[in-house]
A and B are shown apart, each in its own frame.
Chain A
Amino acid sequence: MILWIQQSKAAARDEFQEELVIRPLHSGDIYASFQFRTLWDTDFLQEGQKVSHYRLFPKSLGQVLSKFSVRELHISFTQGFWRTMQWGQPFIPSPPGAELWVWFHDTVSDVDGNWKELTNVLSGIFCASLNFIDLTNTVQPSASFKPLGLGNATDHRFLRYATLPREIVCTENLTPWKKLLPCGSKAGLAVLMKSEKLFHSSFHSQAVHIRPICQDEQCSSKAWELRQTLNVVFDLHTSGQGKKEWSLFKMFSRTLTEACPLASSSKVYVDITDNPELSPATPLLGQAVVLGDRRTYSVYDLSRAETFGQLRSFNLLLRWKGDSDMLRPLLHAERYVAGFGLQTGEIHTVIYNNHPYRAFPVLLMDSVPWYLQLYIHTLTVTSKSRDNKPSYIHYQPAKDRHRPHLLEMLIQLPPHSMTEVTVQFERALLKWTEYTPDPNHGFYVGSSVVSALVPSMVAMRTNFTQDQPLFSSFVPVKEESSYFVRVYTEPLLVNLPTPDFSMPYNVICLTCTVVAVGYGSFYNLLTRTFQVDEPSPPLSKRLANLIRRMRGVPLLT
């Protein structure tokens, strides 16, 4: 028994890292981003090898990966909308509601079947209603969601993307998410995640990203990487009582007491580029280039006992004042519905390029449900009030009740400009059973996704080092001069014309009545002939005639 444990300890090289990044925002809010990274060292890509060792990697997710031949899985649950212009770019962007995109292995024969089962299983794991994901809201983007991990497969038949903008995130989703962590919510940074404070925020997003990665530069061994991220923005006024003074206790109503014993590294990074007051002080400083900006961080290493001080509790205090200039995000997008009435409308997507002199292309992906019939001949793209023709358009029209519209375009954004993409649509009348229980609330249209390689003012690091902070290594950096940004627009809420739901029986009766009137008139005219109307004899005469007929005597006239 002991020998077996020792052997398994030698063989497994699973690793767990946790970090928390705290960034004071320009508007007085504070942004906290947790990242938990579990590396699962296993020969998963070998066929026929059943995996049975689960050390740090959660078993439920491991079984999901092997059963459905998943190569990459990205799922996020977000409450609130990320305000790019006020808060800058997030480390991990996510759209409001639930978003799930999965790359399957190319050995899968029935991708749709796997997708359906996968969504149902994930719905159980995360206690979310992901079972509402079906073929009517799943698309296969051809260019927007390239794999973030290993592998250079570009056959988008193995990619599925779905989003549920109506999904609400609450404690029931947080609890199973926390259970996936090796230490659970008992030790390490996860003790800070208390739902009563986390959900009392402007923005809350929890995500799970699974992908295969190389463990070293030469890529001699591969491993599964599981990143669990939780981004939360606490509002200055609702949580902060109007003072630009934050502490871990104020944000999370908890302080840190110890690092997770299973973690190989457990750090807290605080962004001090704008020179806030920070206590307790720390000698450790770090610099990282993230999202095209070189920022300075104070680093607190929780694996060192002196971080916790004499009280064995670590509470950070952060204070800043003054209005420093926020770096304007270079890429920003908005979306809204124009028009009036319940018959037609127009979707406007506005993309801003705030770079002073560089133009760059962006990939815009729009997935519109089938009941808003898009008219692609009305698509106009204008930049600086001139027509801007996209160089690549991939459009898959919707099929009623089968699949949604998918529009992907590569648009070149001129420097320092606003580009507007408009497309007209018509609203369909649905069958009365297809409306949600509250039909006048409206129907949600998922966020548009704008993906781009934005030119960076600062050189990015392309070499791969182990001690890079997690928040800067999420997206692989392929070249020095640009960084990858994904911006999600607002989801839309569109009203559809509704029939009267109390009327099915009445409608059937009335319409059948009109058809019957037609039938009746024609029947009369076709089967009857014109006859002279002889008045019918009075009753006495008729009775007398009846008796006479029985007697065989001639009738009265």
Chain B
Amino acid sequence: MAAPLTLLLIVAVTIRAVLFRSSWAELISERVEVVSPLNAWKRVVEGLALLDLGVSPYSGDVFHEVSLSLIHFLFKSILGSDGITAVALYLSIQTYNKNVFRKQKYALESDRYPADCLELLRSPKEMFYIPLKVAMFYLLNPFTILSCVAKSTCGLNNAIIALFILCTLKGSALLSGILLALATYQSIYPLTLFAPALLFFLQRLYIPVNLRRSSFWFFTLQYAFIYVGSLVVITGLSFFLLGSWDFIPSVYGFIFSVPDLTPNIGLFWYFFAEMFEHFRLFFICVFQINVFFYTIPLSIKLKEHPVFLIFMQIAIISIFKSYPTVGDVALYMAFLPAWSHLYRFLRNIFLVSCVLLACSALFPVLWHLWIYAGSANSNFYYAITLLFNFGQILLVSDYFYAYLRREHHLTHGLYLKKKDGTEATLVLK
């Protein structure tokens, strides 16, 4: 499988190089859908220029990245970060598929599946091309290409998260903790990925998730120690690099308090532009809690399926974070081929794909009408933002529904009958 992957990488690099050299590159790096105040390359260059002038980059409100020197050092790898992400996703999905197939084999041998759901089982033939499809979905996704050509640091964040997923699936708790700490250090939201990673390791080490068992706490504390420890070390390192704690209010304070209301594809900007001052703090808290609070319920429901939980968490972060960009959307969309066996249970996939396609096409149009032509106003762009987020929410909940339904069928049988023998319909009650 190395050859198709290499071919895919070459095609992806070619497309990016062509776009990079053309005049579109500057246009794309200014687009608000692709870059946000947190990850724009223009702001990194501005931070470097401020450092040259002898002013701390965090003294103004233009630079909101951590660890300037790290970014500067990794500049070249921003362009290659897409490749790293794709390869990491490829290998992780390969490992995951192997795990899934093995579990399925054991379940089949122990006769755990009802007789009529054999058609729901997955075959190696069907699963063979999934890793390549995942890599393709990521590399050739227009969102990713735009994000890479704009040199947004979102690509770096995606690469770190993808590497974290790879290390988790390969079973290395140390590396996984360190990479998760690095991802959290860059933007706080990957903190919620701690729970699925923990669940995966517990499952892999056959430790039951029982709050009363000491083995559970022992491992949890170990993993938490690795994670928190690396986070403290990385934060301390950046303090020593820049010599002050200025970056904490400038980066983390900025992410949480949302002072900059530049339009983007998220829900926060217009909401807080039109917010009554009196309620601002309350709604900031509500919206930020909204990102984090699905973790525990989802972890309880999906404790047997940590990889799907990772997908759900990444999707929730991308939809509800304070400054989302299309690069974040591209990361969770890359996972969709891994759930292609759920296709028969998806209810709204046609509607959702139409909504997402239409919104992606309308974003630049309505932006132009508002900002350049002056014939529309901010409400038009806001409406498309609402619709885009609604479409994403529908997509994620649709896949969740399909996943749960397949699990239900695998335990209760595919063709269910009502008490009187006629064909039954399944509802959520």
The yes or no answer to A550 lying at the interface (CB within 8 A) is no
Say yes or no: A530 contacts B267, CB within 8 Å: no
For chains A and B in complex, what number of residue pairs have CB atoms within 8 angstroms?
166
Indicate whether A288 reaches chain B with its CB closer than 8 angstroms: no
Which residues from chain B contact A249 at a C-beta distance below 8 Å? none
Contact at A341–B372, with CB atoms within 8 Å?
yes
CB of A524 within 8 A of CB of B428, answer yes
User: Quick one: which of A442-491 are within 8 Å of B by CB?
Assistant: none
Residue ID in chain B nearest A370 by CB atoms: B61
Asked if B275 and A375 sit within 8 Å, CB to CB, the answer is no
Q: Are B416 and A503 in contact (CB under 8 A)?
A: no
A504 touches B274 (CB 8 A): yes
Assuming the contacts A508-B271, A526-B301, A534-B419, asked whether A518 and B262 have C-beta atoms less than 8 A apart, the reply is no
B212 within 8 A of A: no
When A432-B274, A504-B274 are in contact, do A497 and B429 touch as well, CB less than 8 Å? no
Near A by CB (< 8 A), chain B positions 32-88 give 32, 42, 45-46, 48-50, 53, 55, 59-62
B234 interfacial contact with A, CB 8 Å: no
Whole-angstrom CA separation of A535 from B416 in the bound complex: 15
Interface positions, chain B 400-417, Cβ under 8 Å from A, are 400-401, 404-405, 408, 412, 416-417
List of A residues within 8 angstroms of B261 by Cβ: 428-431
Does A50 belong to the interface (CB within 8 Å)?
Answer: no
- A284: which B residues are within 8 A, CB to CB? none
Contact (Cβ within 8 A) B55 A396: yes
Identify which of B270, B277, B371, B427 contacts A341 (C-beta below 8 A): B371
Counting CB contacts under 8 A, is A507 at the interface?
yes
Answer whether residue A514 sits at the interface, using C-beta atoms and an 8 A cutoff. yes
Contacts of A519 in B (CB 8 A): 290
Stretch of B123-131, B216-224, B386-394 lying at the A interface = B386-394
Taking the complex as formed, is A12 at the interface, i.e. its CB lies under 8 A from any CB of chain B?
Answer: no
Q: Which residues of A contact B61 (CB under 8 A)?
A: 370, 373, 397-400
Tell me if A's interface is mostly helix, strand, loop or mixed: mixed
If A399-B59, A507-B382 touch, whether A430 touches B273 (CB-CB below 8 Å) is yes
- What residue in chain A is nearest B279 (Cβ atoms)? A508
User: How far does the Cβ of A368 sit from chain B's closest Cβ, in whole Å?
Assistant: 12
Count class of interface residues, chain A = 35 or more
Q: Pick the contact of B275 from A504, A510, A518 — CB < 8 Å?
A: A504
In whole Å, how far is B391's beta carbon from the nearest beta carbon of chain A? 10
What are 18 inter-chain pairs, A to B, with CB distance below 8 A? A377-B48, A396-B59, A397-B55, A430-B273, A497-B370, A498-B377, A500-B274, A500-B379, A508-B274, A508-B275, A515-B267, A517-B393, A525-B301, A530-B412, A531-B429, A532-B425, A533-B424, A534-B418
18 more CB-based (< 8 A) A-B contacts, given A398-B60, A500-B379, A526-B301: A342-B372, A373-B62, A376-B46, A395-B53, A396-B55, A396-B60, A397-B55, A397-B62, A398-B61, A400-B259, A400-B260, A429-B378, A517-B394, A522-B297, A525-B397, A525-B401, A528-B428, A530-B405
On B, residues with C-beta under 8 Å from A are 30, 32, 42, 45-46, 48-50, 53, 55, 59-62, 259-263, 267, 269-277, 287, 290, 294, 297-298, 300-301, 319-320, 370-372, 374, 377-379, 382, 386, 389-390, 393-394, 397, 400-401, 404-405, 408, 412, 416-419, 424-429
What is the interface of chain A, defined by CB distance below 8 A to chain B?
Answer: 340-344, 370, 373, 375-377, 393, 395-401, 405, 428-433, 497-500, 503-504, 507-508, 510-511, 514-515, 517-519, 521-522, 524-526, 528-535
Q: Which 5 A-B pairs have the closest CB atoms?
A: A397-B60, A377-B49, A521-B397, A528-B428, A341-B372
